[in-house]
Amino acid sequence: MNHKYLSELLDYHYWAQDRVFGAVEPLSPEQFTRELGNSFPSVRDTLGHIHFGERAWYARWQHEPVPTPDSVAYPDLDAIRQASKEHETKVRALLARLGQDGINQTMEYTSRIDGKQHRSPFWQMFQHLINHGTYHRGQVTMMLRQLGAQPVGTDLIRFYWERER
């Protein structure tokens, strides 16, 4: 795997995250927390889950205890946006520190999904982190439509088009 490519994917991830935060801004507090019957009940809970996923993988990579999910720790968009921005710095620093050789290192970890031990190269786990965010941002897009709000495009090609300009 190529370190430059992972760095681009990370740029995309946070670009898309910022766009979604902007699209969520006009929601009222009630809309932000309204249960809509999706994988995660509300826009807040879905954004909190994206952030939790980042924190969980980062903790594994640092050989720290994986945090417990807690969406209510983010009562409003500003709280989740600030937490995401602070965590972005850590993730970017870790990727830079690993360099080309480090992204190919393999590590063992226990999955919260199946409770089993797994062994994966860093780059596969990192790609999963990006894909996880993309998947759940798509759910936020659907929720915004359910709420009558204006969704925003976060397709990877849009990111590349913007970079061309």
* CA-wise closest residue to 107 among 93, 124, 129, 92: 124
Beta-strand ranges (E) seen in the chain are: 106-110, 117-121
pLDDT for the residue numbered 5: 96
Q: What is the pTM of this model?
A: 0.94
SS3 state of residue 150 = coil
Read off the pLDDT of each residue in 4-17 and give the average, rounded to a whole number. Answer: 97
How do residues 85-106 score in pLDDT, each as one tens digit? Answer: 999 999 999 999 999 999 999 9
How do residues 46-77 score in pLDDT, each as one tens digit? Answer: 999 999 999 999 999 999 988 887 767 899 99
* CA-wise closest residue to 133 among 23, 42, 12: 12
Confidence class for position 115, pLDDT limits 50, 70, 90: confident
* Domains of the chain (ranges, CATH numbers): 3-164 (1.20.120.450)
**3-state SS track over 12-56:** HHHHHHHHHHHHHCCCCHHHHHCCCCCCCCCHHHHHHHHHHHHHH
Using CA atoms, how far apart are residues 149 and 7, in angstroms rounded to an integer? 31
Q: State the greatest distance between any 2 C-alpha atoms of the chain, in Å, as a whole number.
A: 47
How do residues 117-161 score in pLDDT, each as one tens digit? Answer: 999 999 999 999 999 999 999 999 999 999 999 999 999 999 999
Using CA atoms, how far apart are residues 24 and 34, in angstroms rounded to an integer? 13
Sign of the torsion formed by the C-alpha atoms of 49, 54, 57 and 58: negative
Asked whether the beta carbons of 154 and 142 are under 8 A apart, the reply is no
